[in-house]
């Protein structure tokens, strides 16, 4: 299972929110590159970088932060937040994104999202399937759609999606543990002849002990944010976990 720390960006700074609520913003570091370099120094290879300003304004905003981290570390970055057009995607890839995550766009404009899958390939495009009460949430979690989570994922699996990041919003930033039951259900219901979807668990990770459970369950990756910043999980623990895989 891949370990993928998260850096969320508002005004160029590394922040965390609780349940996607912008009023709960807490700044952890004014220099995201410094944070990324700490991750890299502990053997971490991947980074989940979220442009929260972009999610709110519905177009890419913090691409300079992406460019800086991509050019000054060897981290493989998946980038999301406000990607709505081919131009946004081109900017993200030109600035060094390894993959991009599309969430709201996959609900509101499925034809564009499908065209990205065809144009860039399913290794480059991650489906962001963030949920509240098993309904897909969009627009930086400011809106809940009528889309049921698992049929939504299955529909895009049929279109060739290989990677899905699923965040249970009720858990995000709460340090109360991830949605084990939800992930079990997704993995069970997305198995097909070609194997299981690459499910990346996100939201609620609070202790190191949860990571082997997610790995055993079949999650391909897990995104960890606040637990790192609040010192619940140390970078040394993650380094040891990675070295044993």
Annotated catalytic sites, by residue? 8, 130
Residues 6+ apart with CB under 8 A from 94: none
Provide Rg for the chain, Cα atoms.
16
Phi-psi category of residue 201: left, alpha or beta, with phi > 0 → left and psi -120 to 50 → alpha: beta
If you ran DSSP here, which 8-state letter would residue 177 be given?
Answer: -
Residue 181: count of CB within 10 angstroms of its CB: 9
Cβ density class 117-126: b for 16+ within 10 Å, e for less = beebebebbb
**Which parts of the chain fold into alpha helices (H)?**
32-41, 52-57, 63-72, 86-94, 104-108, 110-120, 149-158, 180-189, 210-217, 226-229, 235-244
Three-state DSSP class for 145? Answer: strand
- 147 touches 107 (CB < 8 A): yes
Q: Indicate the angle between helix axes 32-41 and 63-72, nearest 10 degrees.
A: 30
């Amino acid at each position: 299972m891949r370990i993928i720390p998260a850096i969320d960006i508002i005004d160029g700074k590394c922040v965390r929110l609780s349940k996607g609520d912008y009023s709960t913003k807490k700044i952890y570091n004014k220099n995201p590159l410094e944070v990324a370099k700490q991750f890299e120094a502990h053997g971490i290879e991947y980074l989940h970088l979220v442009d929260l300003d972009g999610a709110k304004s519905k177009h890419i905003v913090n691409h300079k932060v992406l460019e800086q981290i991509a050019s000054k570390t060897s981290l493989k970055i998946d980038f999301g937040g406000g990607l709505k057009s081919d131009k946004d995607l081109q900017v993200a890839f030109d600035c060094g994104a390894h993959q991009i995550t599309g969430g709201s766009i996959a609900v509101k404009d499925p034809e564009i999202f499908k065209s990205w899958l065809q144009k860039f390939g399913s290794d480059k495009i991650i489906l962001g399937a963030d949920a509240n009460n098993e309904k897909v949430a969009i627009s930086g979690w400011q809106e809940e759609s009528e889309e049921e989570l698992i049929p939504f994922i299955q529909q895009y699996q049929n279109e060739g999606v290989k990677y899905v990041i699923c965040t249970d919003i009720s858990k995000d930033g709460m340090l109360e543990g991830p949605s084990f039951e939800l992930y079990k259900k997704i993995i069970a219901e997305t198995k097909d002849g070609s194997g299981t979807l690459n499910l990346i668990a996100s939201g609620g990770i609070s202790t190191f002990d949860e990571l082997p459970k997610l790995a055993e369950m079949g999650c391909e990756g897990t995104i960890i944010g606040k637990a790192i910043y609040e010192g619940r999980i140390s970078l040394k623990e993650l380094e040891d976990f990675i070295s044993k895989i």
